A and B are shown apart, each in its own frame.
Chain A
Amino acid sequence: MLNNVKTVLKENYDNRYRLIRLANYELKAQNNGTMFGFLWNFFNPILQILVYWFVFAIGLKSAAPQGKYPYIIWMIVGIMPWFYMSTALTTTGNSIYAYSGVLKRMYIPLSIVPIKSVLSALIAHFWSMLVVIGIIFASGYSISLYYFQTLYFTFASFILLCAYALFASAVVVVFRDFQKIMLSVIRLLFYITPIVWVQDNLPAELKFILKLNPFAYLIDGYRDSILYERNLMFHWKQGVFFWAFTIIFFIIGCNIHMKFRKQFIDLI
C-alpha cells in the first residue's frame, strides 16, 4: 500500500523538471494564439474580480464580516484560491484520458500526467494572488508578514488536489461518467464552502459540519493569513483533521492509480 505511494512520489521526483515544464506548457497553451499571451494570466483574474465586484458589492450590496476590509477585498481573498482549486478539480479528472494520443505512442511516466494539471493550475494561482495582493496594496492597506503563511495553505491545497487528481484521473478512465458527476459536485462545493457568504451567522451544528470541509479550512486559512493576521494554530483542530483526511486520501489516490495504471493504455 505504501509502496504505491513511494512509486508515485519517486516517479514525480525523478521527472520533476519534465513535470514543471509540462505544467508551464499546459498553461501557456491556453493563451496560444492570443495577442496578449502571458498577460492573460493577469487579465483573467482582474476580469473575474470585476464581475464579482459588480454582482456582490454593487448589485447585492453584500456586507463584509467583522474587520477593517470592505466586502470585495474579503471576497477576492477567498475566491481567488477557490478558482485555483476548482480549475484543478475540473481539469485533472480528464487529464489522463485527454492525453491518450500521446500516451499511446510514447512512454511517459503515467503518474506525472494528473500532477502536471494540478501544477499548471497552481502556477496560474501564483499570478492571480499577485493581482490580489496588488489590489489590497493599491487600496491603501499595508502588507504583513502573515502573507507568507498563505504558502503553507497553498502547499496544503496542492497535496489535497494531487490526491484528488490521482484518484479522479484513474476513475475517469474506467468510468467516464465520474467526470460529469464531479462537475456538479464541484459547483455544489462552491456554495457549501464559505467563499462568497459569511459563516458567522450559522447555527453551531452547521458550523461544525463546515469545519469538516477541507476546502473551508483552506479558504479560511487564506483569509486568516491575509486579512486577520491569525497564525495557523488558530484552527489547529481543523488542521489536524485536514491532514488526516488529506494523507488518507492521498494514499487511496496513489493506490487506485497504481491498481489501474496497467490497463490505462488499453482503455483509453
Chain B
Amino acid sequence: MDKNLAIKCSGLYKKYPLYSSDVERLKGLFLPFYKPQQFTALENINLEFKKGEIVGLIGLNGSGKSTLASIITGITYATEGTVEVDGDVNMLAANAGMDLQLTGVENIDYKCLLLGMSKKETAEIRNEIIDFADIGIYINQPMRTYSSGMRSRLGFAISVHMNPDILIIDEALAVGDNSFTDKCMVKMSEFKENGKTILFVSHSVAQMNDFCDRVIWLNKGKIVGEEVPSKIIMPYCGFAREFNSMTHEERAACNPVLTKYQEKYL
C-alpha cells in the first residue's frame, strides 16, 4: 500500500446469507454446496483514503454505509476483497460498551478498559472526559438514571478522547443539543489539524459540507460517485427527494448516476 494512504479497500463485497430458520443456518454453515438466498450489502467497493483526509459517506438507509464502516474498523469481515489499514482505527460509537448499572465515572473506566487502555492512561484522560461531557453531578450517578441525551454526551466524550489514527464516526453526532454538537465539531477540527484520518457517516449534509474534504455517495451497496462536497451533496439531496415520490417498483429499479443529478441540481 502507498505510504500516503490510511485505508485502501479493493474489490470489497459483503453478502449476508438470509436464513429462514435455524436448521437452514446450520446447513449453510456445514454443507459446502448449500447456497441460501443472499443479500448483497456491498458490491465491488474500491476506495482509497489519504492520511489526514476527512471523508464523508452519504446514502439512504440500507445503502451499506455502516457495513462499510464496520468492515474498516475490523468489527465485521468482508466476504470478498481486501481492506488494508495503516494505524489504529476507532469507531466512535456513543452507546457501545456502556453498562447502565454503573455510574458515569465507572463507565469511563470500563470503556477505556474495553479499548485496552492502561490504568495510567485512563487516569490521565478521565477528568478531560468529565469536563467534555459536562453532565454535572450526574457523573457519579448510575447511568440508568440518565436521559438519552446525557448518555450520548458521555459516550461521545469518551470516544473522542481515545486518540486513534483513524476515526470513524457513524451517525454519532446526531445526538445532543446544538451547543454540544458545536463542541464536537471543534474537537473534530482539532483532529483534522492533527492530521488524523476521519471517515464521517452521517445524514446531516450541513455538517458534511462544512467539514469534509471529499464525499462518497453510496446507493444499494455501490458507489455512485465521489466528489468534493459542493459537487455531490446537492445532487444527492435532489435524489433523496425524488426517491420519496417514487413507487416501489421505481425504487427497486433506480440506479442513480452522479452526472445526471449534477446537471439537474447544480
Contacts and interface: CB of A to CB of B under 8 A. Distances in A.
Interface of A: 15, 17-18, 21-22, 25, 29, 32-33, 101-108, 174-176, 260, 262-263, 265-267
A103 to B, nearest CB: 7
A105 B69 CA distance: 10
19 contacts: A17-B116, A21-B113, A29-B99, A32-B101, A102-B96, A105-B75, A105-B91, A105-B96, A106-B75, A106-B97, A106-B114, A107-B91, A174-B25, A174-B26, A176-B22, A263-B29, A265-B76, A265-B77, A266-B76
Given A15-B116, A33-B101, A107-B74, 18 more contacts: A21-B113, A22-B114, A32-B102, A102-B97, A104-B70, A105-B91, A105-B93, A105-B97, A106-B75, A106-B97, A107-B73, A107-B75, A107-B90, A108-B114, A260-B29, A265-B76, A265-B77, A266-B16
Nearest to B97: A102
B180 interface: no
B112 to A, nearest CB: 10
B49 interface: no
B110 A265 contact: no
Nearest to B26: A175
Nearest to B73: A107
A12 to B, nearest CB: 13
Contact of B118 (A17, A29, A32): A17
A18 B119 CA distance: 10
A17 B113 CA distance: 9
Contacts of A266: 16, 76
Nearest to B89: A107
Nearest to B88: A107
Interface residues of B, number: 28
Contacts of A25: 110, 113
Nearest to B79: A262
A102 B113 CA distance: 12
Interface in B73-106: 73-77, 89-91, 93, 95-97, 99, 101-102
B96 A106 contact: yes
B101 A103 contact: no
B240 interface: no
A107 B102 CA distance: 22
B96 A101 contact: yes
A108 B76 CA distance: 11
Contacts of B174: none
A25 B116 CA distance: 13
B116 A104 contact: no
Interface string B16-43: 1000001001100100000000000000
B123 interface: no
Given A102-B97, A106-B96, A174-B25, A18 B116 contact: yes
A175 B91 CA distance: 29
A261 to B, nearest CB: 8
Contacts of B16: 266
B29 A174 contact: yes
A262 B77 contact: yes
Nearest to A260: B29
Residue from B25, B101, B102, B114 with most neighbouring chain A CB atoms (10 Å): B114
B266 interface: no
Contacts of B47: none
Contacts of A174: 25-26, 29
Contacts of B125: none
Nearest to B106: A32
Contacts of A32: 101-102
Contacts of A108: 114
Contacts of B26: 174-175
A263 B16 CA distance: 10
A211 B95 CA distance: 50
Interface in B92-144: 93, 95-97, 99, 101-102, 110, 113-116, 118-119
Contact of A106 (B102, B115, B118): B115
A175 B22 CA distance: 8
Nearest to A108: B114
Top 8 closest A-B pairs, CB basis? Answer: A105-B96, A105-B93, A262-B77, A18-B116, A265-B76, A107-B74, A102-B97, A106-B96
A267 B114 CA distance: 21
Contacts of A106: 75, 91, 93, 96-97, 114-115
Contacts of B119: 21
B91 A22 contact: no
B142 to A, nearest CB: 9
A238 B77 CA distance: 42
A29 B106 CA distance: 11
Nearest to A106: B96
